[in-house]
Amino acid sequence: MSEREDLPDRYGTRHRAALGLSEQTDAICLVVSEERGEVSSVVGGRITNWESPQRLTRTLREWLAVSEVPRPTAMGFFREAVLRNWGPKLGALAIVGVAWMSLAGHQEIKTVVTAPVRYVNVNPGLFLSDGTTRAVSLALSGTRRDIGVLETRKIRVRVTLARLAAGTHRVQLSARNIDLPFGVRVDRVTPRDLTVILAAAEKGRRTIFH
């Protein structure tokens, strides 16, 4: 209810209620006076009497066209969220993309590969017999970038047998036996203990080193 004291006496409770509502909100209020047969609009604290229904209808359409908030659609939301101010948004997206790629490249990941074992410095007259461990499984870790460019053929596992005689031996692998690209680490080797079986070459048999 409006408390204005400058209203003419012909405006009653309905007009004061509509006036108070328009003073507090952006509502469009219509007041119908049955006694005088008048229709008044109250907008923003201002009362207007309308003698022509056509003019009132036309004015209401103009007001509603300006103040009406359309229901958002999927396409409208897309245009508002993506296409509006697309320049700054594209720049922000590029910055976020570069930052994400940088972080992703340094993220630690793990992988498992199988690498062949190469035995070197086998004593003359000996050869590797069946049952010798020929490959090992390596659990590796490193950055996503380093693991992503890792080539299995560049992983070398070398074991020297210079001091071993004929017979069955257990040889334990260490980090010194494994040659890896920079930035890649070995977390686990399976099996860590290799089975090496050396047999004496028969006379006239050519010794083959593996």
Confidence at residue 208, expressed as pLDDT on a 0 to 100 scale: 47
Query: What are 76-112's pLDDT values in tens digits?
Result: 655 555 555 555 545 544 544 444 455 445 678 888 9
Put simply, whether the predicted model's pTM sits higher than 0.85 gets the answer: no
3-class DSSP state of 25: coil
- Say what the alpha-carbon torsion angle 38, 43, 48, 51 is, to the nearest 10 degrees: -50
Low-confidence ranges of the chain (pLDDT < 70): 34-37, 65-106, 203-210
Cα distance between the two ends of the chain: 101
Amino acid 52 reads S
Name, in order, each residue with C-beta under 8 angstroms of 42's C-beta and a sequence gap of 6 or more: 15, 18, 19, 21, 22, 28, 29, 30, 31, 48
CA distances from 78 to 85, 86, 87, 206 (A): 12, 12, 15, 76
Confidence at residue 165, expressed as pLDDT on a 0 to 100 scale: 92
3-class DSSP state of 151: coil
Strands 108-120 and 156-160 come out as parallel
Confidence at residue 57, expressed as pLDDT on a 0 to 100 scale: 81
- Dist CA 200 CA 173 (whole Å): 24
Strands 156-160 and 178-179 come out as antiparallel
Tell me whether the omega of the peptide bond preceding residue 53 falls within 30 degrees of 0, making it cis. no
| Token pair recorded at residue 28 | 């469009």
Confidence at residue 100, expressed as pLDDT on a 0 to 100 scale: 45
**Pair 159, 118: CB distance under 8 Å:** yes
The alpha carbon of 42 is separated from its chain's Cα centroid by a whole number of angstroms, namely 53
**Percentage above 90 pLDDT, the chain:** 21
User: Which domains are assigned to the chain?
Assistant: 13-67 (3.40.1700.10), 108-200 (2.170.120.30)
Confidence at residue 131, expressed as pLDDT on a 0 to 100 scale: 93
